[in-house]
Structure 1
Amino acid sequence: MAVQLDEAAGRTAPRTGKGGAPPARSGSGGRRSAPYLLLLPALLATAVFLGWPLVRNLVLSFQNLNMKELIQHLTDWRGLGNYQEVLGSEQFWRVTGRTIVFTAVNVVLIMVLGTLLGLLLARLGTKMRLVLSAALVLAWAMPSIAATTVFQWLFDSRYGVVNWLLDHLGWHAMAHYDWVGTQLSTFFVITVLIVWQSLPFVALNLYAATTTISKELYEAARMDGAGTWKIFTSVTFPFLRPFFLATTFLEVIWVFKAFPQIFAINQGGPDRLTETLPIYAFTEGVGNLHFGMGAAISVLTIVVLLALTAYYLRLTLKQEEDAL
């Protein structure tokens, strides 16, 4: 009986030696396809809510669609006419340069101040860290339009707290200063607003990232006589380099496409001198009822943003290769 059981086991057991390979498992194909099945709902939602509007906007950019065509349901194809008109306009290139400079200034301020706040959170005690974190979360959770309304009241020329405070500090010329009357002052208000809204994201994420760094590394650096700046450059920054790269990339996208803050403050004024590309596309498309032109500008805006992000990713990949 024992011999028969051994022979049966030998016939049914898989051969794993040189003479053969184990049979393929029937469920392996299902396990390999499981991640794609889990991603399918998100991909479908992205295709419906993001992909289709992009395709529709691209088609619209090749049409001459004004109020007449919209009411009469006419389709007047212009081909590349909208793009030629936009690219031949000096206004488009001025707005593009202004948008790039505006994005660069805001991202630098956000990353520097956010890093300082994140390092401050890492050094504070538990109670003070909790208070500051709660304040940052509240600032981050405030809707953009609500925050913009608050800043409009803060910088109001007649009843604003900022003018009142500056007047009482001795700058009497600022008592009734119109903060949205010039290009630079309007951009100053918008920049303060956008930086204030963006700091919590950078600061809280940086603090969370610093908790992953071993304390022994800081102790070793202090024993070697390293100061605060040396510890940051030799210990903190090398470990958090991926965080800085990813966060800077996200902030470039967020600031570049900022719309509600700029539009609600002064609608791109005065004299359209604070228009960025999203505001410019909205003004030409919806404001002037040139919907095909606005669609072409929005497509070019996406192209400019993709070019900036591609250049940034190229720099980051090169830095990663140099680091290795």
Structure 2
Amino acid sequence: MKDTLVSDGPEVTPSVRPQSDDGGAEAARRRKKLVTLTRPWLLLTPSLIVLVGLLLWPLIQVGKLSLQDYKVKFGGGEGTYIGFDHYKDLLTGDLLWKTVLPNTVFFALACVGLTVVLGTLVALLLNRLGPTWKLICSVSILAAWAMPAVTGTYVWIWLFSPEDGMISQVADSVGLIDAETTNWFTERLPFYGIATINVVHHGFPFVAITVLAGLLTIPKELYEAGEIDGANAWQRFWRITVPSIKPVFLVVTILSTIWDFKVFTQVFLMPGGSGSNPDVYNLGVYSYIEAFAKNDYGTGAAAAVLLTLLLLVITIVYIRTLFRQGEEDL
């Protein structure tokens, strides 16, 4: 009886079955891992194809054009590869370093700083208003954001128009200028002062609404605790508001930087900005003038590539900052 019990319990089957189960489980894990890795890319494939067609391919063509001496002829054009000569001429010329690049950088920095400060102040004001006035004021400032850049630019041109512009008339009436002899658009500083007002007026609503959304997420108990501890309004702003919505400030600052570095319409449409006054060129306008006004497509493309590289650096900083902020929050 004992022998029968021993002989009836072979251990072959238990030893084989776990090996089979382990092999199947391993294959299932590999398939799951493969699906996990490939599924996002399969879902993104249509969008990536569109992006390649609409963004990457034109960038490649602009890069190729910047390496050519391109001449437009009847029925098409002909390009002769000359290497990096356009970049050499551009980087060794005084116009880029003394006019174009300073105009681009300082104009963008001024616009970003003023846009973020004004947008934050408006957001703080909206946060203190009641529901009705908050809605009315929000809709009012969004009207400035909804206005096309072309329309807004012509409004500011009209306001600062020599002789009969409203700003010119007011400044003349208080003795600041002579409206008949003063032209705001001929000098570099007042020209970009008007352009800065234009860009800030068009851009601050985005910052205001975004910062307001961040302010609404801050618990009121934090401000009440700060008041109990004796913190004034300025201290509560720097010790509670700024740390609480720091990611929001990072987003609006870096996005505004990207937008303001590539401003074109607000500069090009102003008197003198379309090519008659080289002192007010920025990178975007300079690229357009060289390519389409002077038919020097290679130099214009080279300037466009430099602007793209500059924006690419800003974008990389933006993405790295967001990832770093996300890791800190974790």
Q: Which residue of 2 aligns with 1:142?
A: 147
Q: Say whether 1:81 aligns with 2:85.
A: yes
SS of 1:173 mapped into structure 2: coil
Listed as ranges, the gaps of 5+ residues in structure 1 are 1-14
CA distance in 2, matches of 1:133, 1:278: 32
Hey, what's the Cα distance between the residues in 2 that align with 1:254 and 1:230? Answer: 31
1:182, 1:270 within 8 Å by CA — same for their partners in 2?
A: no
Stretch moving more, 299-308 or 287-296: 299-308
Equivalent position of 2:7 in the other structure: none
Describe how 1:1-324 pairs up with structure 2 within 5 A. Answer: 23=25, 24=28, 33-68=38-73, 73-94=77-98, 95-168=100-173, 170-171=174-175, 173-176=177-180, 177-268=182-273, 271-310=277-316
Tell me the amino acid that sits aligned with residue 255 of structure 1: D
Deviations 1:86-126 (A, max 9, x none): 11111112211221111111111111111111111111111
Q: 1: CA distance between counterparts of 2:95 and 2:144?
A: 35
Q: 1:311 to 1:97 in 2, by over 3 A?
A: farther
In structure 2, stretches of 5+ residues that fail to align are 1-16
Taking every aligned residue pair, what percent have the same amino acid on both sides?
35
Check conservation: 2:71, 2:79, Cα contact below 8 A. no
Query: For the structure 1 residues 96 and 198, does the alpha-carbon distance in structure 2 shift closer, same or farther, using more than 3 Å as the test?
Result: same
Q: 1:42 offset after TM fit, Å?
A: 2.1
Q: Which string of whole-angstrom CA distances, capped at 9 and with x for unpartnered residues, describes residues 46-90 of structure 1?
A: 11111111000001111001345x766323111111111111111
Q: Residues 312 and 93 of structure 1: is their aligned pair in 2 closer, same or farther, counting only changes over 3 Å?
A: farther
> Displacement of 1:242 after TM fit?
0.9
Per-residue CA shift, 1:280-307, capped at 9, x if unaligned? Answer: 1111111110001111111112223334
- Measure, in 2, the Cα distance between the counterparts of 1:159 and 1:211: 45
Normalised TM-score (structure 1): 0.84
TM-superposed deviation, 1:199: 0.3
Whether the aligned pair in 1 keeps the contact of 2:108 and 2:261 (CA below 8 Å) is: yes
Alignment partners' CA distance in 2, 1:33 and 1:288: 49
CA distance in 1, matches of 2:172, 2:48: 55
| Separation in 2, partners of 1:218, 1:113 | 22
Cα deviation 1:26-59 (Å, max 9, x = unaligned): 8886566443333223222211111111000001
Measured after TM superposition, the shift of residue 173 of structure 1 is 2.9
> Contact 1:58–1:295 at 8 Å: present in 2 too?
yes
- Does the Cα contact within 8 Å between 2:70 and 2:298 map onto a contact in 1? yes
The residue type equivalent to 1:281 in the other structure is S
Moved more, 306-315 or 177-186: 306-315
Q: When the two structures are aligned, how many residues end up with a matched partner?
A: 307
Partner SS for 2:79: coil
Q: Give RMSD over aligned pairs.
A: 3.0
- Tell me the distance in 2 between the aligned counterparts of 1:302 and 1:214: 41
Q: TM-score, normalised by structure 2?
A: 0.83
Distance 2:213 2:231 in 1: 23
SS across alignment from 2:68: coil
Q: Which has the larger radius of gyration?
A: 2
